[in-house]
Chains A and B, each alone.
Chain A
Amino acid sequence: MCVDCGCSVRGKEEEHEHHHVHDNPHLNDSKTIEVIKSLLDKNDHEAAHNRAHFDKHNVLGINLMSSPGSGKTTLLEALKDVADFSYSVVEGDLETNKDADRLSAKGIQAVQIQTGSACHLDALMVHKALHDIDLDTIDVCFVENVGNLVCPASYDVGTHLNVVLVSIPEGEDKIAKYPVMFRKADLVLFTKVDLLPYFEYDIQKEKAALRALNPSADILEISTKDIDSLRAFAQWIDFKKKMR
């Protein structure tokens, strides 16, 4: 019996199938084709588009990633007092405009993306938010990703650099436990380091773990109580901006 159409023609299968190939534009037999394409191909395409958009306006894009509560928004607020460059922020949260409101109150232009239940920002979400930011008036655009050490690591949002924060109160071993995220970092910021005396936290051990995982990442220690540490972060950004 013909396996393609289920008809009862017998004995001349070869000829019958041959006939089908010419008559029917669809596939008759199963066939395997090589593809070799990134699963995130579409996102990567959008991300490249965002980067081209930043480049055209001479803006450095920085993706900030970390657990919830490690101090991303507080850092962006505090940076205002020391930065020589001007910046805007694309804010990603599941719900509320609270972070964008906090930044606006400091005179920083911020656009909030509410992801609903999505655990990460993708390049298209950032693209849409960029329509509401005047790139001609700024030097740096931060994308403050959804607080999450897992999912955002897989998505290129179209920035130039990834900065990953890890705060002292989160406890040790975050770098070893979330290697994909810390592999992506161009800079790792140890935040809330003013709390080191109060926590069992061996920062040298954490730095060694990072070096083994991501030898080329830069490292800074930050406390918003220590203005010099904030200046060091601002200088790192200045340097990276000059190098582009």
Chain B
Amino acid sequence: MHEYSIVQALLNQCEDIATQNGAERVLKIYLKIGVMSGVEPYLLKSAFDTFKQETLCAQAELDIQSQPVVIRCKECNEETTLEVFRYICKKCGSNSVEVIDGEDMYLMSLEME
């Protein structure tokens, strides 16, 4: 259940940003969660709702965009969005690929007042 630690880090980030911007409360938090980031959006939401109390985010809503894994082939430059976790270029079949998206989690934007 590391979602709890991640939510704690998220709340700290949001409070810092809200304070820097002179906001009194955060209304909406937009996240991009990679499907291979190791975090379950459902658990993240429930952890967020538990821990947001008595913070600037108490009334905030969490908007989570689930990001599939996207790889780029180092041989032919083709980009592939993975439906199953086979890190192989769909065009040329090479496994010399780099991951462009889908393995990290990002705070994208904050709506506040």
Q: Name A residues whose Cβ lies closer than 8 Å to a Cβ of B.
A: 25-43, 118-120, 122, 150-151, 153-155, 179-181, 183, 211-215
Contacts and interface: CB of A to CB of B under 8 A. Distances in A.
Interface string B80-91: 000001111000
A22 to B, nearest CB: 13
A133 B104 CA distance: 31
List 4 A-B pairs, minimum CB-CB distance, nearest first.
A215-B95, A151-B2, A154-B38, A30-B113
A154 B39 contact: yes
Contact of A180 (B9, B12, B38): B38
Given A212-B87, A212-B88, A35 B108 contact: yes
Interface of B: 1-2, 5-6, 9-10, 12-13, 17, 21-24, 27-28, 31, 36-39, 85-88, 95-97, 103-113
Contact of A38 (B5, B105, B113): B105
Contacts of A122: 5
A95 to B, nearest CB: 17
B1 to A, nearest CB: 6
A37 B13 contact: yes
B42 to A, nearest CB: 15
A123 to B, nearest CB: 12
A68 B69 CA distance: 29
B12 A33 contact: no
A88 to B, nearest CB: 26
Contacts of B103: 183
Nearest to A35: B107
Given A120-B2, A212-B87, A214-B87, A38 B104 contact: yes
Given A25-B22, A39-B107, A213-B86, A151 B1 contact: yes
A33 B107 contact: no
A23 to B, nearest CB: 13
A130 B53 CA distance: 35
A153 B6 contact: no
Contacts of A214: 87
A30 B27 contact: yes
Given A27-B112, A30-B112, A118-B5, A151 B106 contact: no
A41 B13 contact: yes
A32 B31 CA distance: 13
Contacts of A118: 5
A38 B105 CA distance: 6
Nearest to B20: A33
B17 A33 contact: yes
A40 B10 CA distance: 8
B22 A215 contact: no
A40 B2 contact: no
A43 B1 CA distance: 17
A235 to B, nearest CB: 25
B22 A212 contact: no
Contacts of B38: 150-151, 153-154, 180-181
Nearest to A4: B113
A207 to B, nearest CB: 14
Contacts of B6: 39-40, 154
B113 A35 contact: no
Contacts of B1: 119, 151
